[in-house]
Structure 1
Amino acid sequence: MFIETETTPNPATLKFLPGREVMADGTREFTSPEDAAASPLAEALFDLGDVTGVFFGHGFISVTAAPGVEWPGLKPQVVSILLDHFVSEAPLFRQSGNGIAVPPESEDADLGDDPADADIIAQIKDLIETRVRPAVANDGGDIVYRGFREGVVYLSMQGACSGCPSSSATLKHGIESLLKHYVPEVSEVRAA
């Protein structure tokens, strides 16, 4: 097995491509060792001590190094853990007490969208799903719809995009421009 790596726009984050499916559906972000307890793989990566974030996408894992940690020293350790995990075919998530795997996080957080905005929200979600998420996934991250109120779309950046120096530019100049162009009711995009 060979694991490829790619840089991301976030210099603290590398994208690891195992050449196989990581998550069948959705994504999952771990931002602390406590979050990582749901996944043996994420937990092993946090146990390195130099990792501050792990993100599972469809065919990749993004790993964020702690401030001051250099990738040349950390990368071989991460690759070793990933190889061990995938070669052993270990489960991605721990089984709960009732034998059911711990599910991924929900992609939608209910911020109390107004039912009167259902058509607008459907357009926004469709654009995010078809135009934005694939591009963001190429950079080792994800973007999740969190709500729409009074013309403002609330989105959450995850994975390599979370904390990326260019994430605010991506939100304002890329995503906001796209949404405003196709959905005139959108006046602004904000990070949630």
Structure 2
Amino acid sequence: MAQPATPPGKEAIRILASATPNPASLKFTVDRPLMEGRTAQFRDAAEAAESSLARRIWALGGVTGIFVAGNFITVSRQDPEAWPEEAKKVGMAIREHLWSGEPVLPPGSKQGAGPSSETERKILRVLEEIRPYVQGDGGDIIYAGFEDGVVRVVLQGSCAGCPSSTATLKMGVETRLKEACPEVRELVAI
């Protein structure tokens, strides 16, 4: 994606749009952090209202999901055929947000909160090991709880709805969790 001209008085921002395994989603990698140490997912306009970045992107229309982590944002659309034109608009919305100086999430937001028990800490360590690979495809895997031997996770970004995500979870992630944490019997995506 060609970088647009930077307006006078604004810092240049480089954004690379790339395909993900999910054809409905594009990953936009930015040359600076968007969020550090947490993630945010917006599945509808009501959730997007919490974030000025998500509001800007949702206002473009046709958006079905937004996921933000580290230095990237994954946007999913109803109509993947519209990506060639829409990708430029998403890139500009990201730039406008960064130029505004506003945070992705307001102070006090509950998105991306953390664990409590030793078992949960072990589970989180494994998920943190795996996370860079999942994020490389424009998604994320978020811990949602552990009860009675069952680890619950939420797949976000391009991983949500991806045809290969079930196989990856069962053959890769679940196996690794069971190796590291004998208390784990099963992994389920919610």
Select 1:90's aligned residue among 72, 81, 101.
101
Distance in 1 of aligned mates of 2:41 and 2:176 = 25
Note closer, same or farther for the CA distance 1:154–1:94 as it changes in structure 2 (3 Å cut).
closer
Note closer, same or farther for the CA distance 1:59–1:3 as it changes in structure 2 (3 Å cut).
same
Distance in 1 of aligned mates of 2:100 and 2:154 = 31
The SS at the match of 1:20 is: coil
TM-score where L is the length of structure 2: 0.84
Note closer, same or farther for the CA distance 1:38–1:48 as it changes in structure 2 (3 Å cut).
same
Aligned to 1:98: none
- Indicate if the aligned counterparts of 2:74 and 2:158 stay in contact, CA closer than 8 A: yes
Q: Number of paired residues? A: 178
- Indicate if the aligned counterparts of 1:108 and 1:146 stay in contact, CA closer than 8 A: no
Aligned to 2:41: 29
Unaligned runs of 5+ in 1: 96-100
2:179 maps to 1:181: yes
Aligned to 1:149: 147
Distance in 1 of aligned mates of 2:110 and 2:67 = 11
Aligned to 2:109: 103
The SS at the match of 1:165 is: coil
1:94 deviation in Å? 6.8
| Root-mean-square deviation over aligned CA pairs | 2.1
Q: Percent identity?
A: 38
Unaligned runs of 5+ in 2: 1-12
Distance in 1 of aligned mates of 2:156 and 2:177 = 19
Single out whichever of 152-161 and 26-35 deviates more from structure 2. Answer: 152-161
